[in-house]
Amino acid sequence: MTQTMRAGRLDGRRVLITGAGSGLGLAAAKLFAQEGAALALLDRDAPGLKAAVAATGGHSFELDVTDEKAVQEAVAAAAKAMGGLDGVVNSAGIMCGDKVIDTTLETWNRVLAVNMTGTFLVCRAAIPFLLQRPGSSIVNIASGQALLPGLTGGVYSASKAGVMMLTKSLAIELGPHVRANAVCPGAATTPMGNAALASMDDATRAAFVKRYALGRLSEPEEVANALLFLTTDEASSVTGIALAVDGGRTYH
């Protein structure tokens, strides 16, 4: 029997979302707004951020998540504007499909800076506010490649594995007051995912999609549903997990 989704699952919750200007972050922002959340949206993409705010009514903060001072100021300003924080979703991230042997130090540093350090900086800045709200939550977007690496993209896999273990550490440190979970998406029909597919020839693309048990990429809204669940009180007993939402790529 199909269960009907209840409206207002985030009524009264105040959630900060990074990478909200596109992709999974934008899908989460739209869904969370529909479910009643007040939102603070962070992104370095000014046009994307403007469109996200227009779609959700959230507060906007344009910044690079690797900028420690900017992150601290934005999180504090978001908490002040909304009267506190009940949740954080870290979606900001960048992709690198190079093999390890072909990865420059500059690329390595940038991928880790955005994917790992940016997540750390936002979590660290938000924790004092989250601790004031028992039952609050952190959801970090890791990747299916943190669970099962691909043939290339070793730096990306390493950065997302770091996000996954950071999340588990936060669950231990912050319990019982704050829950912390990771979502590990597979490839999705986001601008990042579509660009990766477009760079492949037909045979490579077909082989890539065949690795997924469902035979397709995830839609951003499907991943956003997992982010929503982990942010609601429905997941009140869930912390420290890395939830694969990847169409079955990592089931084996």
Residue of 136, 156, 171, 184 marked catalytic: 156
Cα Dmax for the chain: 53
Whether 251 sits among the annotated catalytic residues: the reply is no
Q: How far apart are CA 163 and CA 240, in angstroms?
A: 12
Backbone phi, psi, residue 43, to 5° = -170, 155
By DSSP bridging, strand 136-141 and strand 178-185 are parallel
SS3 of the chain: CCCCCCCCCCCCCEEEEECCCCHHHHHHHHHHHHCCCEEEEEECCHHHHHHHHHHHCCEEEECCCCCHHHHHHHHHHHHHHHCCCCEEEECCCCCCCCCHHHCCHHHHHHHHHHHHHHHHHHHHHHHHHHCCCCCEEEEEECCHHHCCCCCCCHHHHHHHHHHHHHHHHHHHHHCCCEEEEEEEECCECCHHHHHHHHCCCHHHHHHHHHCCCCCCCECHHHHHHHHHHHHCHHHCCCCCCEEEECCCCCCC
Q: Which residues are catalytic?
A: 156
